[in-house]
Structure 1
Amino acid sequence: MSDPASTKTLTGYDLIASYLRTLDASPGVYRMLDADSRVLYVGKARNLKARVSSYSRPGQHSGRIMRMISETASMMFLTTRTETEALLLEQNLIKQLKPKYNVLLRDDKSFPNILVSKSHAYPQIKKHRGAKKEKGNYFGPFASAGAVNRTLNQLQRVFLLRNCSDSDFETRTRPCLQYQIKRCSGPCCDLITPQDYARSVANAEKFLSGRTKGIQEALAAEMNAASAEMEFERAAALRDRIKALTQVQTAQGINPQSTAEADVIGLHINGGQACVQVFFIRANQNWGNHDYYPRISGEEDASVVMEAFVGQFYSDREPPKMLLLSHGLDNEDLMAEALCEKAGRKVEITVPQRGEKAELVQGALRNAKESLARKMSETATQAKLLKGVAEAFELESVPQRIEVYDNSHIQGAFAVGAMIVAGPEGFEKSQYRKYNIKGEDLTPGDDFGMMKEVMTRRFQRLLKEDPERKSGVWPELLLIDGGAGQVSSVREIMEKLGVGDVPMIGVAKGEDRDAGKEVFYRTGKPVKALRHNDPVLYFIQRMRDEVHRFAIGTHRAKRAKAISKNPLDDIAGVGAGRKRALLAHFGSAKAVARANLADLKAVPGVSGNMAQTIYDFFHENG
């Protein structure tokens, strides 16, 4: 319910007081909105009437809350059965609506896991990010893709598990390079028995579960036996596997003895900014750490910031068995109950004061303090660079959001557009966007046409989602990779869309296409160059290099996906078994596509109807 008729001309304390007669003591969630119906704040309450009443009394609030109340033009309420439900709903709404006055977790990417896939007779070990839909055992989370890749690299050397896709596995007729460099046992070519491979999989899972001692002892015994039997090459291979296993354990750093599974969360606040460090402890192993910089006003207590972080961080993640925090929560019991309900098991929240757990928290706090100091230093430098850009190119204001665009293709094939974003806090990678070029009437390699398509799609979406330009996602400066032609082409499309007021600069390689000799094109202004050692020039070069990197990476991923795609995967009813039979019979997917109906029917396991389906697929599609 919201906005009684009598509140329409009221604001601030008077408006909030006018809602009290419509509320009761139910638990629930409330939203404060401004005159433009933008959500200012989302909160939860055990007793809605009591909580809202606290906002209606002047003289007992911080400056931040007073500003929020003064901007409030309407409120919305939603009752829940329990306060726990209200807490969960509150955190979901905060992440979805990103209210101005809430503590907000800005970096919300998912963390990678290691997956031992069980959908195949010879399980594959690989990195996995996202929903856990694939059949298999998941181990994680790891703090970064780099941490996963390093661990996978060493695990392959120790346990010799395959990392190839199922389609690659089915089509191999001889071992790949991974086998040659002793990082795979060659199950694709029956170079290991199913029983021995299954034993390796089991050992890998034991290691990822923290049970490593028995594995090392077994490998050592096997190495000694091979040496005694004068099988020195095999003994050397086993020695290398033991060494790789030791390297994994060493790379993990401090591995706690008494803490099997926990997230260690340290919070440091300074100068109106906050840093949260999260260390992931799983199977008594340190699987890395990640830092966060939640948006705060600087007036909140550490307990408020920590509670907001914990609630939002675990709103779409499974919590571990234990949270070790540097600061307590105002509603610790309620948060523990909410996390228990989410996980379907006990979740303990504690602020340790002594022992190993306290040392872990101190380590997280130390990292948070150092990371925030670096961040504040970088932010100050970034602010100077943005101011320098405004002065160098005579902008009306210092740009808070710069969007940089580039295209990548090979003679028009696998064409993609890329956009990166830079602002006061550096590169904002969560804001990066990629565009698959869709224009069918484009001439292959038409960079002007590709850029026009990207800019059209970008600004049409902005005009649809935020025509008033109030959400903070509109660019205050565009950097286009190109010269006068590109600038003219993009300006034309922007004028047509009615957004020609957005400043734009074309960055072109200068004489001999050397870095440092760039020239800059602007509509209606002379060509400009910056002095060779100007920090602003280096800043623009970094942005251009970053958009190149992102565009090329996106293009390569698209090209690799197209190259590795097997057309048999798109045929309804053709699973791994039938695909294996077809490839064994014909030798390649291309040969299957050329086969006649009678030959397809001769393949073991392919019925007459399925043969017709396969034949029709290739002949109707090409």
Structure 2
Amino acid sequence: MTEASLENGIATIKAHIKTAPTAPGVYRMLSKHGDVLYVGKAKSIKKRIVAYTQPNRLSVRLMRMVAATTSMVFVTTRTEAEALLLEASLIKRFKPPFNVLLKDDKSFPYILLREDHEWAQISKHRGARRHKGQYYGPFASASAVNRTLNTLQKVFQLRSCTDNTLETRTRACLLYQIKRCSGPCVGHVSKSEYNDMVAETRAFLEGRTSGIQKKFATAMQEASDDLEFEIAAIFRDRLNALTHIQSHQTMVNAMVDEADIIAAAEVGGQVGIQVFFFRAGQNWGHRAYFPKHDKSDGIEDVLMAFISQFYDNKPAPRLVLLSHAVPDQALLSAALSERMDRKVTLTVPERGKKADVMREAIRNAKEAVERKLAESASQTKLLEGVAQLFDMAEPPKRIEVYDNSHIQGTNAVGGMIVAGPDGMMKNAYRKFNIKSEDLTPGDDFGMMREVMERRFKRLIKEDADKERGHWPDVLLIDGGKGQLSSVMEILHDLGVNDVTVVAISKGPDRHAGREQFHMPDRESFMLPLTDPVLYYLQRLRDEAHRFAIGSHRAKRAGDIKKSPLDGVPGIGPKRKKALLHHFGSVKAITGADVRDLEGVEGISRAMAQQIYDHFQS
């Protein structure tokens, strides 16, 4: 940042003040490339952005942001609460470098009780809610869902199979044999009995368990009194499974039926956040988050930004317990209430059982940050070892690793994985479908040349001045001297000469630990078997291999699913299905005459002639 660039940024903002609205809304600061630097909300946009023209009141971070600003965009909203929600959405969309960013915000799994079939189905669900039924969650992880589903199968014995499996089975499956399904597919349970199980399942997932326990206990006693000991044993096992899951809810007794606990802790300038999910009086797991933020950001500001982004794509419960009071807490509560169309309360518990639970959550958050920092320190040490090994001036911030995958040249795919100080950067992974028709099948050198050419031509076009942080410090190539030469040739042609390039080839008999490293103008070398840097580079190489193979298999699977009918103009899924149902196979379709094709529902004479000509040409 120079004084001139700061003055230019302030001048840009002053120019935009003249046309800035006084209404509530969201403003975006843009760089010279059009990248979003910062997203902010305000009750009055015009009044808010005036503060950025007073450098003596800005932190160093904000001065850097202002210096990089060359343009601004404004969006007005009806209320400040709407502005808060829009701000969170835009931050997640653009990932501005000067905002607090919530990383690893994957969708949460739910339990779906489908009720659009006469035999209700229970299953794990993630993604869009396309099915009619009740969705219970969120659960912190797939394993938390699986544990609950496992218990539900033992206790209530609802089907988990697909509709097609249900309709085509002629004998009960293994789940019925091990007493985890009541067997509706083969009539082992009546419709009324099954509906009772559905009602009990719903009651359990909504926290109404006492009546279920009493019912099972009564049924077990009655069966025992009637000397029906096998039936009594079934109810005993179901009762035990129900009691088992309740006995593991150690924190629940102090809680209400539905709440999220969000606890933040700061260690060494890094804020970590733990979220516990309580639904239906049960603990449905917890997850740790480590938002990306500047060290000057206070824990309350980080927590505020986290909450608004966290609930951008998931429902908020009626009660959210916080470890710290956050700025604009009332506004955030109003915004979430508006979105959920019901009251959402945000509060900091100060005494009683809820405060005890919060202290436990804060302890978990602190321990999570300490583990994260320990892992980061280990990662930093490894990157320092990489820099020393490859004669680099400083530890690399971005390592790109490349590998190719194909079967005798078919479905060839190049894979690129990225690693840095925070570990694997999976959102930066890329695959390259090999497009060149001039390559000899199986030409690994030619494939690598194509991948490198496409990667760096685009990089030069999009980030020629290297300001966006997309340029690699190290290229790690899976291969030997041939692959290294191919890569260096392309980089030389493109004028790229400031990237460390290393090829890693497998040792004799592909022995792990005996890998050889090849670099330009340097003799090939090996590392001691116990060197931690060797293990690290092996992990990177193996991850690139896994990613490339996975991409290749996905492409091959897609090709296998393709049909010769896909190449016929005007033939979509509906007509394809009609043709296959009528003729039974693609081979029969290719041998049919126009009159036979015309006899298929939805196929006109002109379309029949087109299909015939396509296969006979």
The TM-score normalised by the length of structure 1 is 0.82
**In structure 1, distance between residues paired with 2:35 and 2:286:** 35
Deviation at 1:375, TM superposition (A): 1.0
AA partner of residue 187 (structure 1): P
Among 573, 598, 601, which residue is 1:609 paired with?
A: 601
Among 181, 199, 210, which residue is 1:202 paired with?
A: 199
Deviations along 1:4-41, one digit per CA (max 9) or x if unpaired, are: xxx99952445544544444532222233445554332
AA partner of residue 346 (structure 2): I
Q: Give 1:544's aligned residue.
A: 541
Q: Give 2:53's aligned residue.
A: 56
8 Å Cα contact 2:264/2:365 also seen in 1? yes
Q: Give 2:362's aligned residue.
A: 365
Q: Which has the larger displacement, 30-39 or 392-401? A: 30-39
Structure 1 stretches of 5 or more lacking a match?
A: 1-6, 597-606
Deviations along 1:444-480, one digit per CA (max 9) or x if unpaired, are: 8776676666656655654565454432233322333
Deviation at 1:313, TM superposition (A): 1.3
Q: Which has the larger displacement, 495-504 or 185-194? A: 495-504
**In structure 2, distance between residues paired with 1:617 and 1:183:** 53
Residues 235 and 494 (structure 1), Cα distance of their counterparts in 2 relative to 1, 3 Å cut: farther
8 Å Cα contact 2:254/2:354 also seen in 1? no
- Within 5 A, what are the aligned runs for 1:229-308? 229-308=226-305
Which secondary structure state, in structure 2, belongs to the residue aligned with residue 59 of structure 1?
helix
8 Å Cα contact 2:6/2:66 also seen in 1? no
**In structure 2, distance between residues paired with 1:328 and 1:200:** 44
Structure 2 stretches of 5 or more lacking a match?
A: 565-571, 590-598
Q: Give 2:346's aligned residue.
A: 349
Q: Give 2:150's aligned residue.
A: 153
AA partner of residue 609 (structure 1): E
Among 306, 309, 313, which residue is 1:312 paired with?
A: 309
Among 366, 381, 391, which residue is 1:394 paired with?
A: 391
Q: Which has the larger displacement, 444-453 or 316-325? A: 444-453
**In structure 1, distance between residues paired with 2:413 and 2:171:** 35
Which secondary structure state, in structure 2, belongs to the residue aligned with residue 403 of structure 1?
strand
8 Å Cα contact 2:7/2:67 also seen in 1? no
Which secondary structure state, in structure 1, belongs to the residue aligned with residue 56 of structure 2?
coil
AA partner of residue 540 (structure 1): L
Among 107, 110, 115, which residue is 2:107 paired with?
A: 110
Residues 367 and 32 (structure 1), Cα distance of their counterparts in 2 relative to 1, 3 Å cut: same
Which secondary structure state, in structure 1, belongs to the residue aligned with residue 129 of structure 2?
coil
8 Å Cα contact 2:151/2:245 also seen in 1? yes
**In structure 1, distance between residues paired with 2:442 and 2:346:** 57
AA partner of residue 277 (structure 1): Q
Which secondary structure state, in structure 2, belongs to the residue aligned with residue 265 of structure 1?
strand
Q: Give 2:182's aligned residue.
A: 185
AA partner of residue 140 (structure 1): G
Among 212, 216, 225, which residue is 1:215 paired with?
A: 212
Q: Give 2:525's aligned residue.
A: 528
Residues 237 and 453 (structure 1), Cα distance of their counterparts in 2 relative to 1, 3 Å cut: farther
Residues 411 and 244 (structure 1), Cα distance of their counterparts in 2 relative to 1, 3 Å cut: farther
**In structure 2, distance between residues paired with 1:464 and 1:191:** 66
Deviation at 1:350, TM superposition (A): 0.8
8 Å Cα contact 1:409/1:416 also seen in 2? yes
**In structure 1, distance between residues paired with 2:33 and 2:188:** 68
**In structure 2, distance between residues paired with 1:262 and 1:608:** 57
8 Å Cα contact 1:35/1:73 also seen in 2? yes
Deviation at 1:81, TM superposition (A): 2.7
Residues 340 and 502 (structure 1), Cα distance of their counterparts in 2 relative to 1, 3 Å cut: same
Deviation at 1:71, TM superposition (A): 4.0
Deviation at 1:385, TM superposition (A): 0.5
Residues 279 and 595 (structure 1), Cα distance of their counterparts in 2 relative to 1, 3 Å cut: same
Among 560, 571, 574, which residue is 1:572 paired with?
A: 574
Q: Which has the larger displacement, 221-230 or 534-543? A: 221-230
Residues 273 and 512 (structure 1), Cα distance of their counterparts in 2 relative to 1, 3 Å cut: same
Q: Which has the larger displacement, 330-339 or 183-192? A: 183-192
- Within 5 A, what are the aligned runs for 1:488-503? 488-491=485-488, 502-503=499-500
Residues 378 and 238 (structure 1), Cα distance of their counterparts in 2 relative to 1, 3 Å cut: same
Deviation at 1:218, TM superposition (A): 2.6
Deviation at 1:129, TM superposition (A): 1.6
**Residues 1:324 and 2:316 are matched in the alignment:** no
AA partner of residue 40 (structure 1): L
8 Å Cα contact 2:6/2:64 also seen in 1? no
- Within 5 A, what are the aligned runs for 1:92-103? 92-103=89-100
8 Å Cα contact 2:251/2:357 also seen in 1? no
**In structure 2, distance between residues paired with 1:151 and 1:618:** 52
- Aligned residue pairs: how many? 598
Q: Give 2:595's aligned residue.
A: none
Residues 618 and 462 (structure 1), Cα distance of their counterparts in 2 relative to 1, 3 Å cut: farther
8 Å Cα contact 1:272/1:296 also seen in 2? no
**Residues 1:129 and 2:126 are matched in the alignment:** yes
8 Å Cα contact 2:503/2:518 also seen in 1? yes
Q: Give 2:471's aligned residue.
A: 474
Q: Which has the larger displacement, 556-565 or 48-57? A: 556-565
Residues 50 and 509 (structure 1), Cα distance of their counterparts in 2 relative to 1, 3 Å cut: same
Deviation at 1:91, TM superposition (A): 1.9
Residues 21 and 149 (structure 1), Cα distance of their counterparts in 2 relative to 1, 3 Å cut: same
8 Å Cα contact 1:107/1:430 also seen in 2? no
Deviation at 1:69, TM superposition (A): 3.5
Which secondary structure state, in structure 2, belongs to the residue aligned with residue 11 of structure 1?
helix
**Residues 1:382 and 2:379 are matched in the alignment:** yes
Q: Give 2:74's aligned residue.
A: 77
AA partner of residue 152 (structure 1): L
Which secondary structure state, in structure 1, belongs to the residue aligned with residue 574 of structure 2?
coil
Residues 81 and 312 (structure 1), Cα distance of their counterparts in 2 relative to 1, 3 Å cut: same
Identity %, equivalent residues: 52
AA partner of residue 271 (structure 2): A
Deviation at 1:487, TM superposition (A): 3.8
Q: Please, what is the CA RMSD of the aligned residues?
A: 4.2
**In structure 2, distance between residues paired with 1:437 and 1:206:** 54
Deviation at 1:234, TM superposition (A): 4.1
Residues 400 and 97 (structure 1), Cα distance of their counterparts in 2 relative to 1, 3 Å cut: same
Residues 101 and 179 (structure 1), Cα distance of their counterparts in 2 relative to 1, 3 Å cut: same
The TM-score normalised by the length of structure 2 is 0.83
Q: Give 1:514's aligned residue.
A: 511
Residues 113 and 42 (structure 1), Cα distance of their counterparts in 2 relative to 1, 3 Å cut: same
Residues 165 and 24 (structure 1), Cα distance of their counterparts in 2 relative to 1, 3 Å cut: closer
Residues 364 and 463 (structure 1), Cα distance of their counterparts in 2 relative to 1, 3 Å cut: farther
**In structure 2, distance between residues paired with 1:591 and 1:235:** 51
Q: Give 2:593's aligned residue.
A: none
Deviation at 1:574, TM superposition (A): 10
Deviations along 1:63-115, one digit per CA (max 9) or x if unpaired, are: 33344334444433333332222222222222222223221212221111112
Deviations along 1:38-78, one digit per CA (max 9) or x if unpaired, are: 43322221122322233333433333334433444443333
**In structure 1, distance between residues paired with 2:144 and 2:33:** 45
8 Å Cα contact 2:108/2:141 also seen in 1? yes
AA partner of residue 80 (structure 1): T
Q: Which has the larger displacement, 29-38 or 558-567? A: 558-567
**In structure 1, distance between residues paired with 2:176 and 2:36:** 57
Residues 565 and 362 (structure 1), Cα distance of their counterparts in 2 relative to 1, 3 Å cut: farther
AA partner of residue 349 (structure 2): P
